Amino acid sequence: MAFTVYKGAAEANLPIALVPLWGEYPGVEGSLRLGIRDTTLLLLFKIRSPQLLRMVDRHNGPVYRDSCVEAFLQQQGRDEYLNF
């Protein structure tokens, strides 16, 4: 699977290959747009999958078991990171 990160105009994109830590998923496609507006970080995920797993139905449930998307952001040289 590969995500596309857009910087500026959509035609100036840089594809990033992801390490499949949890296995391969045939037919799954995704894209991510990152942006900054003043002091606000903007993330836009678009995912296409032939089938979504949606089993968790309670607040703060184990949604990692469902089909999901996460973003991990870390400053260079820091141990701390943000998880969205």
Question: What pLDDT does 58 receive?
Answer: 92
pLDDT (tens place) for every residue of the chain, 84 residues total: 444 555 555 444 444 445 556 667 778 887 778 788 888 888 888 888 888 888 899 998 888 888 887 777 788 888 898 888
What distance in Å separates the CA atoms of residue 32 and residue 7, rounded to the nearest whole number?
Answer: 10
What distance in Å separates the CA atoms of residue 64 and residue 32, rounded to the nearest whole number?
Answer: 19
What distance in Å separates the CA atoms of residue 64 and residue 66, rounded to the nearest whole number?
Answer: 5
Torsion of CA 71, 79, 39, 63, to 10 degrees: 30
Structure tokens at 4: 């596309």
